[in-house]
């Protein structure tokens, strides 16, 4: 009988040698890393202890809303990427084991590392030949030492493994492109042998080889400009991850504080951000004011970094201020709604956006959801729409007498006293303003993401209130006010 042809999913034209890699954890970081390593030519086993997740991934359900993920999953699943619950088998087969399990925030603000510890202990049970264990999860400094200690306590010879830190700088929504086109690859390795293995793993990117491929994922890197690999100590790499996220959060809180100042002074924060961002020492990115940062990373990582500093006796209260501004920014937005509508009790509001940012269905620590909750507590009734995050939101905030989930932006605006924009989905910046005007009871837009040019919206007959910019009013209101 004729044998079925094995699936040929090897990326065409890659010269670097394939390395066998295990990735433990199939969340945002683990799953993206797994399919991207396969895309780079490696053989990957992705391990998760959640059997339902493993089955779904084997069947081609990517589980999260992430650009290019369905395509890569389809290309490599059950071929160059195998999904399994069997960590012991993965440990035996692979040269490098990437730990990408969750490190949620504990009650004290520290990262809860119990999942990392559990994985380390489980690896120890089947480790018989030399392996490189790689921390991919966001972890505080000294975690590599704790992983080593856990392995040694479980009877593993220190010569049989190295622990490396290889932090991830992926943004949700663009994680695949960020992985394959990184600004930099950071490898914290205290042994040459482990550092070299990581260099080999990333060689398709650092040599520029990957960017020769016609079917490669497009992005900022190229054959002429491949990403640099920065080799550091493991502790430095651990700190680089926390310090990067804390610094980005600081940039956002800084511009949010400046935007509040601009509002009071009647200046325009967009002009100010451009003016400071043109200084190459500052740079233009992450200077978009809004309703505060959210997501599964910044809030948790700022708290964890502050907690690490506290434990070491370092005064890093700057980070407490970053958090404080972030909390205030949401309250300030609710005050804006109140200032525009007078009383909040009984007001009907259309809400656009529930995800913590555009292009994702993730609602973890979403400032949009916190604002919705605050408005409901103030007695408003809400009709909310999000292109991807409604079903996740329904699980934590079921529809009720005060909350309805709308079928589109115009449905959310239907008969509302005002329309609020809370997430920066690009489609919310391209709405048919005439149609909106017909749907709304009052032509008021309160935009927490500055998606519109105030004058353009006011010219269409709206009162438009945004962040850090003077409010814009329709000509008829201005004329009425002058009489
Ligand atoms: C963030 C980092 O950007 C990644 O480099 C990092 O790898 C990741 O955390 C992580 O540690 O895993 P992510 O949480 O996906 O990525 O989202 P960002 O795009 O950074 O946005 C975070 C929050 O800041 C969002 O709520 C966003 O709306 C807000 N933001 C961002 C602003 O309010 N203003 C800005 O200028 C930029």
**pLDDT band with cut points at 50, 70 and 90 for residue 390:** very high
- Residue 153 pLDDT more than 70? yes
Query: Helix, strand or coil for residue 187?
Result: strand
Q: Which distant-in-sequence residues (6+ apart) come within 8 Å of 364 by Cβ?
A: 294, 295, 296, 356
Strand order in the sheet with 381-385: 403-405, 381-385, 348-352, 418-421, 444-447, 463-465
From the list 36, 221, 262, 297, the catalytic residue is: 297
**pLDDT band with cut points at 50, 70 and 90 for residue 300:** very high
pTM of the model: 0.93
Q: Bridge partners of 419?
A: 350, 445
Q: Judge contact between 357 and 424, C-beta under 8 A.
A: yes
CA angle centred on 295, ends 47 and 111, rounded to 5°: 60
Report the distance separating Cα 467 and Cα 449, nearest Å: 7
* Alpha carbon of residue 421 to chain centroid: 20
- What percent of the chain lies above the pLDDT cut of 90? 87
- Residue 358 pLDDT more than 60? yes
Q: Judge contact between 170 and 136, C-beta under 8 A.
A: no
Please confirm, yes or no, whether 380 is among the known catalytic residues: no
Pick the CATH number of 20-232 from 3.40.50.620, 3.40.250.10, 3.40.30.10, 3.40.50.720: 3.40.50.720
Mean pLDDT lowest among 36-45, 94-103, 197-206, 365-374: 94-103
Nearest CA to ligand 1 atom 24: 293
- Residue 105 pLDDT more than 90? no
Residue 349: its H or E element: strand 348-352
Report the distance separating Cα 464 and Cα 456, nearest Å: 10
Distance 66 CA to ligand 1 centre (A): 15
Q: Which distant-in-sequence residues (6+ apart) come within 8 Å of 411 by Cβ?
A: 383, 385, 439
For 123-153, the DSSP string reads: HHHH--S-EEEEE-S---TTHHHHHHHHHHH
- Residue 430 pLDDT more than 60? yes
Q: What is the pLDDT of residue 6?
A: 45
- What number does the ligand 1 atom closest to the CA of 294 have? 26
Q: What is the pLDDT of residue 103?
A: 81
Q: Bridge partners of 472?
A: 464
Query: For a substitution probing ligand 1, which of 65, 165, 166, 171 has the most ligand atoms within 8 Å of its CB?
Result: 171
Residue 172, ligand 1, Cβ within 6 A: yes
CA angle centred on 67, ends 397 and 221, rounded to 5°: 140
Q: Judge contact between 221 and 119, C-beta under 8 A.
A: no
Q: What is the pLDDT of residues 408-424, one digit of tens each?
A: 999 999 999 999 999 99
Same fold, 20-232 and 325-482: yes
Residue 77 is classified by DSSP as B
Q: What is the pLDDT of residue 5?
A: 44
Q: What is the pLDDT of residues 251-285, one digit of tens each?
A: 999 999 999 999 999 999 999 999 999 999 999 99
- What percent of the chain lies above the pLDDT cut of 70? 95
Query: Helix, strand or coil for residue 472?
Result: strand
- What number does the ligand 1 atom closest to the CA of 249 have? 24
Report the distance separating Cα 182 and Cα 299, nearest Å: 23
Strand order in the sheet with 185-188: 81-84, 43-47, 20-24, 96-99, 131-135, 161-165, 185-188, 229-232
Task: Give the mean model confidence (pLDDT) for residues 50-71.
Answer: 93
- Residue 483 pLDDT more than 60? no
Residue 356: burial class (beta carbons within 10 Å; 0-12, 13-18, 19+):
buried
Phi, psi for residue 55 in degrees, rounded to 5: -65, -45
Q: Bridge partners of 131?
A: 161
Task: Give the mean model confidence (pLDDT) for residues 230-248.
Answer: 96
- What number does the ligand 1 atom closest to the CA of 366 have? 26
**pLDDT band with cut points at 50, 70 and 90 for residue 2:** very low
CATH class of segment(s) 325-482: alpha beta
Query: For a substitution probing ligand 1, which of 240, 244, 256, 293 has the most ligand atoms within 8 Å of its CB?
Result: 293
Residue 303 is classified by DSSP as H
Residue 404 is classified by DSSP as E
Residue 442 is classified by DSSP as S
Task: Give the mean model confidence (pLDDT) for residues 421-437.
Answer: 97
Q: What is the pLDDT of residue 139?
A: 83
Supply the mean pLDDT for the chain: 93
Domain coordinates in residue numbering, the chain? 20-232, 325-482
CA atoms within 13 A on the CB side of 312: 12
């Amino acid at each position: 009988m004729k044998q079925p042809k094995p699936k040929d999913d090897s990326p065409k034209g890659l010269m670097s040698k394939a390395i066998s890699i295990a990735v433990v954890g199939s969340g945002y970081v683990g799953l993206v890393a797994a399919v991207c390593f396969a895309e780079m030519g490696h053989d990957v086993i992705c391990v998760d202890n959640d059997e339902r997740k493993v089955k779904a991934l084997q069947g081609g359900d990517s589980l999260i809303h992430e650009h290019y993920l369905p395509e890569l999953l389809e290309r490599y699943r059950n071929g160059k990427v195998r999904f399994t619950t069997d960590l012991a088998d993965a440990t035996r087969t692979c040269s490098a084991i990437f730990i990408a399990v969750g490190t949620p925030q504990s009650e004290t603000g520290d990262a809860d590392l119990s999942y990392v510890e559990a994985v380390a202990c489980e690896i120890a049970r089947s480790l018989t030949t030399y392996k490189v264990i790689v921390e991919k999860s966001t972890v505080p400094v000294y975690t590599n030492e704790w992983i080593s200690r856990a392995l040694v306590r479980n009877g593993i010879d220190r010569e049989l493994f190295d622990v490396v830190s290889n932090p991830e700088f992926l943004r949700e929504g663009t994680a695949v492109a960020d992985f394959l086109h990184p600004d930099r690859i950071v490898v914290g390795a205290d042994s040459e042998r482990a550092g070299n293995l990581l260099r080999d793993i990333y060689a398709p990117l650092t040599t520029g080889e990957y960017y020769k491929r016609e079917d490669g994922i497009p992005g900022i890197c190229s054959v002429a400009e491949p990403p640099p690999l920065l080799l550091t100590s493991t502790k430095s790499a651990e700190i680089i991850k926390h310090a990067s996220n804390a610094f980005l959060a600081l940039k956002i809180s800084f511009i949010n504080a400046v935007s509040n100042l601009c509002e009071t002074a009647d200046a325009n924060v967009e002009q100010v951000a451009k003016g400071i961002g043109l200084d190459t020492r500052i740079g233009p990115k992450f200077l978009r004011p809004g309703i505060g940062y959210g997501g599964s990373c910044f809030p948790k990582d700022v708290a964890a970094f502050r907690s690490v500093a506290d434990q070491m006796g370092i005064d890093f209260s700057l980070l407490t201020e970053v958090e404080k501004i972030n909390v205030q920014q949401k309250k300030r937005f609710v005050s804006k709604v109140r200032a525009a509508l007078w009383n909040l009790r009984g007001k009907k509001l259309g809400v656009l956006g529930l995800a913590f940012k555009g292009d994702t269905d993730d609602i973890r620590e979403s400032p949009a959801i916190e604002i919705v909750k605050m408005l409901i507590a103030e007695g408003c009734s809400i009709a909310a729409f999000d292109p991807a995050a409604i079903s996740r939101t329904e699980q934590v905030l079921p529809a009720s007498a005060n909350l309805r989930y709308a079928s589109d932006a115009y449905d959310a605006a239907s008969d509302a006293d005002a329309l609020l924009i809370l997430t920066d989905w690009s489609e919310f910046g391209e709405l048919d303003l005439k149609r909106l005007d017909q749907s709304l009871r009052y032509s008021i837009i309160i935009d927490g993401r500055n998606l519109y040019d105030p004058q353009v919206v006011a010219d269409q007959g709206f009162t438009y209130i945004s962040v850090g910019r003077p409010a814009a009013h329709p000509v008829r209101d201005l004329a009425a006010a002058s009489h």
